Amino acid sequence: MTARVLAGALPRHAGRAVRIGGWVHRERRLKSVTFLVVRDRSGLAQVVLPPEHTRLPEETVVEVRGLVTASPQAPGGVELTEPEITVLSEPAAAPPFDLHRPTLTASLPTILDHAPVALRHPRLRARFEVAAASVAGFRSVLDRAGFTEIHTPKLVGAATESGANVFAVDYFGRPAYLAQSPQLFKQAMVGVFERVHEVGPVFRAEPHDTARHLAQYTSLDAELGFVGDHHDVMAVLRDVLAGMVAAIAERGADVELPVVPAEIPAIHFADAQALLGHQPGEPDLAPADERQLSDWARRTHGSEFLFVTGYPMAKRPFYTHPDPARPGYSRSFDLLFRGLELVTGGQRLHRHTDYLTALAAHGIDPAPFEGYLAAFAHGMPPHGGFAIGLERWTARLLGLANVREATLFPRDLHRLSP
Amino acid sequence: MTARVLAGALPRHAGRAVRIGGWVHRERRLKSVTFLVVRDRSGLAQVVLPPEHTRLPEETVVEVRGLVTASPQAPGGVELTEPEITVLSEPAAAPPFDLHRPTLTASLPTILDHAPVALRHPRLRARFEVAAASVAGFRSVLDRAGFTEIHTPKLVGAATESGANVFAVDYFGRPAYLAQSPQLFKQAMVGVFERVHEVGPVFRAEPHDTARHLAQYTSLDAELGFVGDHHDVMAVLRDVLAGMVAAIAERGADVELPVVPAEIPAIHFADAQALLGHQPGEPDLAPADERQLSDWARRTHGSEFLFVTGYPMAKRPFYTHPDPARPGYSRSFDLLFRGLELVTGGQRLHRHTDYLTALAAHGIDPAPFEGYLAAFAHGMPPHGGFAIGLERWTARLLGLANVREATLFPRDLHRLSP
């Protein structure tokens, strides 16, 4: 059996008999000829149909044997003539929208309800190729920098971030929870590997229906030991972002890619509040503040990325390292990208006694954390890390209004299928 | 501040003043001199302590500035003299076992209870470097072959594999389940990307306490469209295994690596039963059978890998493609490696009507699967795939008796922490 040739490779087979396979993208009837446009993962192929033929419904999967013939008007300058068509699926049911139009004209709920078919639209599919390239870039930078990939439990005995938005699981008759982050595991593994990364699902029982929250999202996590402070973590994040952008560029995606500056500009939280004209003492930034700060970074630094550093301790989780030089502030950061908070990170506490103090100050019972706290009792270096929300990154990069548009099968308050 | 130098790189800095960082591995007192052995992710460094010094407990994290001095007896031929030692952690609590001995002498439960510290033992840590290399090899082969990495939901509305061993989740007051596999999602995504892979957690509420089952494990999944039958899937799996082995070799791990034959030997299930002297009609292989077949493959084919193909339809899940040439048998396979079933795969059904028939035959209500079944109604190519259990692979490769020894933080019937 001759090997299947992808649509994108047909020009290299001009004059030869080949076999292609793909989906019926559409039938194009012109005055004197009818074309069958076949879609595969590489692009579109044009097949010249004989005058007598059975009409095949769109999305039917076919195999076509034919002769690759030069045709200046065809995509790639070739078309398939003398076709012999075999249907590999059944004749397909009609999709609830036209997949062959330049954009998919359907509401977001309709698209999500029909995700297995809607995602076939080349523009929708391309989003996830960008996401895949981003993840490959993330790993490639960290692997080269001596990070070890880890796989941590998603079933835990206690909530790591806050008790509010956690999913409960029936674990052999006992209560368990879905991990809201790999935070404590990745920290403990700094004690083993010094530098670790993990790409995996995290779970938040978000009771709010917003355009930027999901009940499950993909977290790109990194953590590294022997840092001076959070600036060492920010430097790694900078390189990771540059690698993600480079990987997207390398795969030739049609995206307006940002330039990642050699050093991403940074502003301290207190200075950011002053810049925004807020009263000192406000503990957090509102989404509108983030947009305004991003605008400021673009205007004054020519950067689409901005670090906001030193968030008040009051708003950060118990494992946050304080800034000894500025009481009340932390050695943490958020990264804003095009107006949106995309990454959270910072230096963590690394001394066991500091953890006990911090847990007590937050009113958290240390008992469920005993196993992880052991890592700190037995010697941990100063360390820090960050977590990038993959769907937020992809959505922001591609200018998508809703993070669900960058998720294959989103899960939220209302949606548990498909 | 001078950049930190890793222990393994010290020989390249002979004669220079450097800064290292790591854990106190042990203090070695000889007659005339005392050494501090410092461990970091690259290996061990020997520091010559002054006669007067404070003893530092093992696992304390230190930074040492000193002069790299040639010393033929020292590891790597150099040691650090004139040291200036700074404690970065607190003085560490004593671990419940000696991390500096060649092997960790503690029971498996003790090791697992103290995982954050036990995994620091170089031999234990090395297992997970092998796992990380394996995963990198898996992705590298598939990325080059045009596969797209995907991230699928772990929260689902219905069990995909069987209703028995599924974890229930309280999903905003509604019942949901943890995905037992990405099976139906990866199949649906063949309709979008043709070829997909995913490395992620899967969940099985295994009520049995065995050496080869976990409540959460890491599944290396691949699925591809436009296959002729399961042999095309097996060919991809063969290349993936070769890439995994090559990646481990590349990172220089000290492992007895198997040779992956250009074509892995295969035996049909019915022939395997005959070979074992079983009555025809037995529907499955017992663990002892798998060991015997593996021995046979090694003896007669010189291969540590063996495909058993064509498992009876009765024992395979509803999405399994039957073998039209052999009624009752399927186009599926298991891969045995050194006596253990490591991979399950095969060709899947791809026609919508076949799914409705199969679900009915298995007595499964199709309603919860409606969203996924849409993919098949709208045209799917013949496709298949496989799933490799990462922990099983690592354990078998390293000769570990229990899959928990190849898991950072195992989850099972009795264990939910650390």
Shared domain check, B342 and B247: yes
Does residue B50 sit in the same domain as residue B170? no
Query: Are A217 and A365 in a shared domain?
Result: yes
A14 and A131 inside one domain: no
Q: Would A1 be classed as within a structural domain?
A: no
Residues B59 and B125 reside in one and the same domain: no
The torsion region of residue B242 among left (phi > 0), alpha (psi -120 to 50) and beta comes to alpha
User: Is the same domain home to B224 and B358?
Assistant: yes
Q: Is B392 annotated as a binding residue?
A: yes
pLDDT greater than 90 at residue B115: yes
Element of type H or E holding B186: helix B183-193
Do A65 and A160 lie in one domain? The reply is: no
Distances (CA, A) of B63 to B23, B66, B86: 9, 10, 5
Looking at every residue in chain A, the average pLDDT score rounds to 95
Q: Residue A372: which of B41, B191, B418 has the nearest Cβ? A: B418
* Residue tagged 């007669």 (tokens): B300
Residue type present at position B199: V
Residue A103 burial (CB < 10 Å; 0-12/13-18/19+)? exposed
Beta bridge partners of A202: A217
Contacts of A390 in chain B (CB under 8 A): 151
- Residue A1 pLDDT greater than 80, yes or no: no
Instruction: Please name the residue that has the structure tokens 């290349």.
Output: B239
Interface contact flag, A378 B205, Cβ < 8 Å = no
Is A111 inside any structural domain? no
Going by the DSSP 8-state scheme, the letter that residue A412 receives in this structure is: B
Out of A153, A168, A216, closest to residue B409 by CB: A153
* Residue A93 is assigned to a structural domain of this protein: no
Whether residue A269 lies inside any domain: the answer is yes
Q: Cβ A1–B228 below 8 Å, yes or no? A: yes
Q: Which residues contact B199 (CB under 8 A, 6 or more apart)?
A: A199, B135, B138, B139, B218, B219, B220, B221, B390
Confirm whether residue B101 is marked as ligand binding: no
In a domain, A169, yes or no: yes
Cβ of residue A74 closer than 8 Å to a chain B Cβ: no
Residue of B nearest to A112 (CA): B371
Q: How far is CA A161 from the centre of its chain?
A: 21
Q: Which of residues 383-402 of A touch B (CB under 8 A)?
A: 390
Do A293 and A349 reside in the same domain of the chain? yes
- The answer on A207 and A77 residing in a single domain is no
- When CB atoms are compared, the residue of B1, B128, B381 closest to A61 is B381
Overall number of domains in chain B: 2
Cα–Cα dist B286/B67, whole Å:
61
* Mean pLDDT computed over B163-185: 92
The pLDDT score that the predictor gives to residue B161 is: 60
Residue B106 domain-assigned?
Answer: no
pLDDT > 70: percent of chain A: 99
Residues A184 and A303 in one domain: yes
Model confidence band, residue B280 (pLDDT cutoffs 50, 70, 90):
confident
3-state helix, strand, coil in chain A (%, to 5): 30, 30, 40
SS3 content of chain B, % helix, strand, coil (to 5): 30, 30, 40
B79 annotated among ligand-binding-site residues: no
Pairing of strands B266-268, B305-309: parallel
Q: Is residue B138 part of a domain?
A: yes
Q: What mean pLDDT comes out for the span A342-356?
A: 97
Euclidean distance between CA atoms B192 and A220, whole angstroms: 24
Would you list the DSSP string of A228-295?
A: SSHHHHHHHHHHHHHHHHHHHHHTT----PPP--SS--EEEHHHHHHHTTPPTT-----HHHHHHHHH
Is B337 part of a structural domain of the chain?
A: yes
Residue numbers of B between 270 and 329 with CB closer than 8 Å to A: none
CATH code, A289: 3.30.930.10
Helix (H, G, I), strand (E, B) or coil at A195: strand
B198 interface with A at CB cutoff 8 Å: no
What letter does residue B95 receive in the DSSP assignment? Answer: P
Number of A:B CB contacts under 8 A?
257
pLDDT at B371: 83
Cβ neighbours for A382, distance < 8 A, ≥ 6 positions apart: A225, A226, A227, A228, A229, A321, A347, A350, B88
Look at B130 and B372; give whichever has higher pLDDT.
Answer: B130
A242 touches chain B (CB under 8 A): no
What mean pLDDT value characterizes chain B? 95
Q: Cα B135 to the chain's mean position, in Å? A: 7
Residue numbers of A between 97 and 116 with CB closer than 8 Å to B: 113-116
φ, ψ of residue A44 in degrees (nearest 5): -115, 145
Interface TM-score (ipTM) > 0.90:
yes
Question: Backbone phi, then psi, for B160, in 5-degree steps?
Answer: -95, -30
Q: What is the pLDDT of residues A55-81, one digit of tens each?
A: 999 999 999 999 999 999 888 899 999
**Nearest residue on chain A to B408, alpha-carbon basis:** A152
Rounded to whole angstroms, the Cα distance separating B226 from A132 reads 22
What is the Cα–Cα distance from B135 to B217, expressed in whole angstroms?
13
Range of the domain at A14: 7-87
| pLDDT at B163 > cutoff 70 | no
**β pairing state of B195-203 and B148-149:** parallel
Residue A309, classed as helix, strand or coil, is: strand
Are B297 and B386 in a shared domain? Answer: yes
Three-class DSSP category at B406:
helix
Scanning the structure block, which residue is given the tokens 């495909």? Answer: B307
Burial class (CB in 10 A: 0-12, 13-18, 19+), A94: exposed
